[in-house]
Amino acid sequence: MAKDNDKEYLQSEETCLIDENDTTEKQKLKRKYTTASKCRRTVVFVSCIVQIIICSGVGYGLSVMYAELVIVFNAKRAEAAVIQSLFMGLSGVSGIIFTGMIHKFGPGACIMFGGLVGCIGMFVCAFARGLILIILCTGIVAGTAFGLCYLAAFVTVGWMFKNSASFFLICLMAGISIGQFILPLLFESFISQYSWSGAFILVSAVSLNCIPGGLTIHYSDKFFINTKEMSGTKSNANCDVNFLKDIVMWIILVNCLLISMTVNVEAWFIVDHMVTRGFTRESGSVLVSTMGIGSLMGRVSGALLRLYCKCPTFYHWVYLCVIIGGLHAVIINLNNFWALVAACIAYGITFATTGSQIPAIMFESVGLERYPQAMGMANLLCGVGELIGPFLGGYIYDIFGVYDTAFYAASAISAYISLATLFAAVLVRRRNLRETRTKVDTKVKYKTIK
């Protein structure tokens, strides 16, 4: 019976071992941490998905609020679009600032702090009497806070699922699609029943769900494999950017910037576009959520591509960006609601398949040790793109009175991204052939000498 108890103890998630080198009376106990149980890994992964759902979903939901605030405050569209620009931009840009904080305090504690600050920022907006306070509290405060939660979720998955991180990082991106499907409908429902101010209060309550997830992650941090454990030295999370010496990495990062500036043009402006075409705001909200349904299907497609296709992940951008560019041009010319629904589903599938591959691309490019820095850099450029994109779209509408120019510009940029990725693929192929030849020559020389 004692043997069974010992066996059960040894198979638990953590086991205490006595340091054999310590012979003093005050022996130090060191813990040998094994891989977390399936149940714990599942709970942690679900907690990370919740962060992505809330952080990204609020950004997409602001497209509904954007159309409402233009009417309520009689504001220019460029001014109202600043709220979306700052929120979505800072939620990505702020990540590069907080990588050191995540290393120091752990992702769980950072998520709890970010969720609380984001909730307060959204709540204060309910008492605004103009756009300035909403821009400050939602765009800057909440955007920055949710950016901390967003990056911490990706870092958590990278540290918890080391052996299959690329696959789980793509699966994590499904949270963006779920958030895009749920939050715009919640915004629409809240605005219809409680006005825009009540909607801010209720959305701030929804954002509090970040805190339980952060608590779960915090008490699971002993199962993480991070850079400190791998190197045995103190990690300088903010300064190690040696991966920027690679021209292929620069192409990938610039593509991240451009695609984030343009790929969400439908999600940002489809609600207001529908209103200007004579449809209701509710129909535009349905289209945003429809993109979320297609987006979820796209996340699954991205995971399957990564699972079954052995080529480098970024190769898929060559053809996916061509399809995205074509859909931009098609959607702006459709006037039938059901045709728009079908086009939005197709668009959601394509852009989600493309976007879901960014974390895996960064992980494959730099490895586990420098992944937080690389993902922070990718989020930085994606955030800059999302910071610029909505403002430019609103500004273009103020000049031309239509969104057509913004959609066509997005189509042209998508074509450029496809060509740039093709060029990077050629560089990678030549590099691989050169490395293979070097290895063969080295083996031949070794055999000759021997």
59 neighbors 91 (Cβ within 8 angstroms): yes
Strands 29-33 and 14-18: antiparallel
Sequence-separated contacts (24+) of 307-313 with Cβ below 8 Å = 307/167, 312/361, 312/364, 312/425, 312/428, 313/166, 313/357, 313/360, 313/361, 313/364
Domain boundaries, the chain: 44-224+245-446
396 neighbors 403 (Cβ within 8 angstroms): yes
Q: How far apart are CA 84 and CA 134, in angstroms?
A: 11
CA–CA–CA angle 329, 330, 332 (5° rounding): 75
Residue corresponding to tokens 């022996």: 27
Sign of CA dihedral 68, 69, 73, 79: negative
User: Would you state the pLDDT for residue 202?
Assistant: 94
CB neighbour list of residue 6: distance below 8 Å, 6 or more residues apart: none
Burial tier of 88 (Cβ tally within 10 Å: 0-12, 13-18, 19+): buried
Q: How many CA atoms lie within 13 A of 105 on its CB side?
A: 17
DSSP state of 138: I
190 neighbors 281 (Cβ within 8 angstroms): no
Q: How far apart are CA 285 and CA 185, in angstroms?
A: 7
Q: How far apart are CA 66 and CA 327, in angstroms?
A: 23
Q: Is the pTM of this model over 0.75?
A: no
Measure CA of the first residue to CA of the last residue in the chain; give whole Å: 59
User: Would you state the pLDDT for residue 34?
Assistant: 56
Sequence-separated contacts (24+) of 162-166 with Cβ below 8 Å = 162/225, 162/368, 165/363, 165/368, 165/371, 166/306, 166/313, 166/359, 166/360, 166/363, 166/364
pLDDT tens for the chain, residues 1 to 450:
444 444 443 444 443 433 434 444 444 334 444 576 778 888 889 999 999 999 888 988 888 888 888 888 888 888 888 888 888 878 767 666 777 788 888 888 999 999 999 999 999 999 988 899 999 999 899 988 998 888 888 888 878 887 777 678 777 877 887 887 888 889 989 998 999 999 999 999 999 989 998 999 888 877 776 544 444 444 444 445 666 777 878 888 888 888 888 887 888 888 888 888 888 888 888 888 888 888 888 877 877 777 777 777 778 888 888 999 999 989 888 888 899 999 989 998 888 888 777 777 777 777 666 666 777 777 778 778 877 888 888 888 888 888 888 899 899 999 998 998 888 888 877 877 776 777 665 665 655 665
User: Would you state the pLDDT for residue 224?
Assistant: 79
From the candidate CATH numbers 3.40.50.300, 3.30.465.10, 1.20.1440.230, 1.20.1250.20, the one assigned to the domain spanning 44-224+245-446: 1.20.1250.20
> Residue-wise over 244-282: b if at least 16 C-beta within 10 A, else e?
eeeebbebbbebbbbbbbbbbbbbbbbbbbbbeeebebe
Q: How far apart are CA 409 and CA 269, in angstroms?
A: 14
- Assign 3-class secondary structure to 319-385: HHHHHHHHHHHHHCCCCCHHHHHHHHHHHHHHHHHHHCCHHHHHHHHHCCCCHHHHHHHHHHHHHHH
Q: How many CA atoms lie within 13 A of 33 on its CB side?
A: 10
Q: How far apart are CA 393 and CA 388, in angstroms?
A: 9
